[in-house]
A and B are shown apart, each in its own frame.
Chain A
């Protein structure tokens, strides 16, 4: 059970531009990702949209598996730039990990 936190999008703004909002959850990024790992990276992008902060911090280590190959960014139909979102999240997690 997740409670929606619409303010989270503002909370991560200092770590990079808000591009997660434009994702429409088509899953192209997860399909093209060479990691083939549990809906990565769509899952963390979805967590940003609904403000599931705890989930992001719980699963933070996933972010460091990313190879930054850029395939997701190339194929994203909405221009959400998943690669950039992962970088933003890494910065956010580094700044917040002690607090959880």
Chain B
């Protein structure tokens, strides 16, 4: 028995010697490797391995001459398998695979040995050389067992789905439709525009949100290739890149039956128009503070293009077959905790979105009030009053002589200082847009109502971007007075009503007329305590991602510690998700302004279009393969599978009999190998990582002659 084994081993060794086919290419990395690894000694050893035809070294293997070495050896038939020993494969594996492709050879006959990060940067002297030899011998043993593979080719449906009808979703939908792709746009509310709709004058250009939104939304509404599913959410998700299937369910009742439904989170500031009134709107109407109405009667009652239409009363659902998905689910403005800076406890404390709405309403009501029976809801009436030369902002009919604006509310929260939300989380990030938005509003007020004084309390001011530093400077010219506070000593909002009795104030007649006093330790005044009497406090609330936990769960999307969706790489692949075929656009990823959201949306659209342009998608072939002769159909692999739908048991016909066997759906397979581990028959292998290849590597790890060479 033993003899037989020895014999076979000897025979194999003999075969190797006759059929040397592996080329090993070892890199100096300009000293990065060669300072600690004796590269030439490694080469001498590796050269003598039974399967190695040639071993070469180069100062920089990734350089053009280095790559040429490999390509020449492949072209003239010296080698048939390639091992490069250099830096981490994340850096240059693709470089060398593509060099092999350029030589006209299948790129999957390649194996990488990392002798920089895993050797020369962490080991020194003989130990480093020894480890390099081991890693390269292993790679070489594996390389010998490699066989050419073909990438998995999946036909891609030339159809894209955008989730979210805010500015990013609209931009992405339009851009993809312009590339000739059919687009479905799913929006939870009945309006297009998302968080752009509740804005008024957009910084830094002063353009109106209405103009921006109407232009873009009408382009989308009129586009023949875009189908809008308004008032709907994604109900189910399955499939893989190129072939996703989405179930879409309507969440808001039909316009004709519009009842006083609860308002979705996206537009909670603008609930006036939404209740009982949606049936008055026509598709394409611009509704201030809600957006562009996107539902028409025909939309839900007789949509002709949907194959799978199920009707239950007025709530309908659709099935969308799509090739790629762009997620543009956006943000919601931070809602301060009750009592945070007095919010919801002191009526004079409001948020910046509330201020913007009040100011816009006041201009509208100013125009309408004379004859129109336009009724404003309580709490939203405001207007400017001219008395002699004085011109004050008015809110709730109250003259605002001075107001405080407080930055970083719900942003840059610090552990130990700020209160966690219900889920125990803090918004530790900067929301990026609120500084500019706050100072933009301050400038508008100072210019429109010059008698209203503004005190601006900030921790730091970052009006980043073109034309935005100018807004900060303009605020100074407009005599906005700035105060700076530290995170652990925020301004206190004190009601004068209570403090009059409590003796918090000096008996100052000037103070008593004001309902609120803002007290702060001002860094700019050398840490002195200052008091600012005001009629109004505005909180510059930050950006929080919308709750998309449902989509996250269904689509297995990665979420960052800040609760925003997480891209593959922040610099190199900023709009892609690890799930192939799903892209990110806009503020579901991070706080962005409108321009940045459109940038991201455009990038996502181009990535999506590029993916669909060929009509097919190519995926790495490192997936499970079933040996049907060994498989006994026990189903253990299916139970162990981590990716729903990647493995299943099917009936196949063999010798006129139906038998059960496992079957792989390659695009869904993660190549994790969980099934390989549980298969009692060794009937499953991961292509490019077979058990035989592992065995060859393990044999090299335990081989003793390596040490002999070193010593």
A residues contacting B by CB (< 8 A) are: 1-4, 6, 9, 18, 21-25, 39, 43, 46-47, 49-50, 52, 78
Contacts and interface: CB of A to CB of B under 8 A. Distances in A.
14 contacts: A2-B525, A2-B530, A3-B530, A3-B533, A4-B455, A4-B481, A6-B481, A21-B476, A21-B477, A22-B476, A23-B476, A24-B472, A25-B482, A25-B484
Given A9-B479, A22-B476, A3 B525 contact: no
A40 to B, nearest CB: 12
B455 A3 contact: no
B477 A22 contact: yes
A25 B476 CA distance: 11
A5 to B, nearest CB: 8
A38 B402 CA distance: 31
A83 B532 CA distance: 28
Contact of B531 (A4, A23, A24): A4
Given A49-B481, A50-B481, A4 B476 contact: no
Nearest to B534: A4
B526 interface: yes
Given A2-B525, A3-B533, 18 more contacts: A1-B531, A2-B529, A2-B530, A2-B531, A3-B532, A4-B481, A4-B530, A4-B531, A6-B453, A21-B477, A24-B472, A25-B484, A43-B526, A47-B525, A49-B482, A50-B525, A50-B530, A52-B525
Contact-residue size bin, chain B (C-beta under 8 Å from the other chain): 20 to 34
Contacts of B205: none
B524 interface: yes
A60 B479 CA distance: 24
B90 interface: no
B157 to A, nearest CB: 55
Nearest to B401: A6
Contacts of A6: 402, 453, 479, 481
Nearest to B454: A6
Contacts of A49: 481-482
Contacts of A46: 524-526
B619 interface: no
A25 B477 CA distance: 14
A24 B511 contact: no
Contacts of A25: 482, 484, 524
Nearest to A39: B526
A49 B526 CA distance: 13
Given A25-B482, A25-B524, A50-B530, A3 B477 contact: no
Contacts of B402: 6
B533 A4 contact: yes
Nearest 8 A/B pairs, CB to CB: A4-B532, A6-B453, A22-B476, A25-B524, A21-B479, A1-B529, A2-B530, A3-B531
Contacts of B472: 24
B481 A1 contact: no
Contact of B508 (A2, A3, A43, A50): A3
B476 A78 contact: yes
B528 interface: yes
Nearest to A9: B479
Interface string B501-516: 0000010101100000
A65 B472 CA distance: 32
B473 interface: yes
A86 B234 CA distance: 65
A94 B477 CA distance: 27
Contacts of B481: 4, 6, 49-50
B235 to A, nearest CB: 52
A88 to B, nearest CB: 16
A3 B476 contact: no
B458 to A, nearest CB: 11
Contacts of A52: 525
A52 B522 CA distance: 13
A6 B479 CA distance: 9
Contact of A2 (B453, B511, B528): B528
Contacts of B476: 21-24, 78
Interface in B367-414: 402
Contacts of A2: 525, 528-531
B514 to A, nearest CB: 11
Contacts of A18: 479
A3 B584 CA distance: 49
A29 to B, nearest CB: 14
A25 to B, nearest CB: 5
Contact of A3 (B479, B511, B522): B511
Interface string B246-269: 000000000000000000000000
